[in-house]
Amino acid sequence: MHKQGENSQETGTVPTPVVIIDQDSDSDATVVEITFGDRLGALLDTMKALKNLGLNVIKGNVYLDSSGKHNKFAITKASTGRKVEEPELLEAIRLTIINNLLQYHPESSAQLAMGAAFGVLPPNQTVDVDIATHINVKDDGPERSLLYVETVDRPGLLVDLVKIITDINIAVESGEFDTEGLLAKSKFHVRYRGKAISKPLQQVLANSLRYFLRRPTTEDASF
């Protein structure tokens, strides 16, 4: 099987893979965006793998800007024709895309925390994950709040974050999950009993996430 990227111009710099899962921009579909320098990667294999998860790719496009080629496509569940809501399935989409990308570009494994998770890195090679965790909660209108979490990436992170949030009876309305190399950036619109989260509850939420992530370098913005 020919692996795309082998004929790309080699600059000596391996681009950082970026995978964005966006639940906000389309009310009917989950939008996924993949960026990897000037390399498109194995799009056909990625589409096939997503179909095997019970998903349909209903539309897509490719555009180019200064950061590289972006592959953007909309996904719905084959069973319902609607966007993906389950955190477990969103996580499966993310891991499927990253795993497929690593199969085509193993040279990028050291730039992805997932490289070690998928066994792409040699046993004696470790990934530098000295990344500070940042948590910020703020009001986003009277009916919802915006939670931002930035931390080192790992498998299952999205599912765990949603579980922590919902375990303290906070509802996750929508959001975006970005995988940028070793870094995971999560943005969730959350609410409590149909309203924005109060300042004390914002602190409880941040403390719960901080305890779970257990990063001594965690930094919190003011509430």
User: Mind listing the pLDDT tens digit for each residue in 163-215?
Assistant: 999 999 999 988 899 988 788 999 999 999 999 999 999 999 999 999 888 75
Q: Distance between CA 97 and CA 34 in Å, rounded? A: 9
- pLDDT of 181 reads 79
Strand partners, 138: 146
All CATH 3.30.70.260 domain ranges in the chain, comma separated: 134-217
For the cut 50, the answer to whether the pLDDT of residue 9 exceeds it is no
What SS3 state is found at 20? strand
Residue range 46-61: mean pLDDT, rounded: 87
Answer yes or no: are the C-beta atoms of 200 and 148 closer than 8 Å: no
The rounded percent of the chain whose pLDDT value lies above 90 is 43
Q: What is the pLDDT of residues 107-155, one digit of tens each?
A: 777 767 665 556 655 555 555 556 788 999 999 989 999 999 999 888 8
Say what the pTM is.
0.77
**Residue 146 neighbours by CB under 8 Å, 6+ apart:** 137, 138, 139, 140, 187, 188, 189, 190
pLDDT of residue 55: 95
What's the topology of domain 134-217? Alpha-Beta Plaits (3.30.70)
Q: Calculate the average pLDDT of the chain.
A: 80
> The domain 18-117: what is its CATH number?
3.30.70
Range of weakest confidence among 20-34, 48-62, 77-91, 109-123: 109-123
By the 10 Å C-beta count (0-12 exposed, 13-18 middle, 19+ buried), 136 is classed as: middle
Q: What does the alpha-carbon distance between residue 98 and residue 220 come to, in Å, rounded to a whole number?
A: 29
Which has more confidence, 172 or 2? 172
Give yes or no for a contact between 154 and 182, defined as CB atoms under 8 angstroms apart. Answer: no
Which residues 6+ apart lie within 8 Å of 72 measured at CB?
31, 32, 33, 34, 60, 61, 62, 63
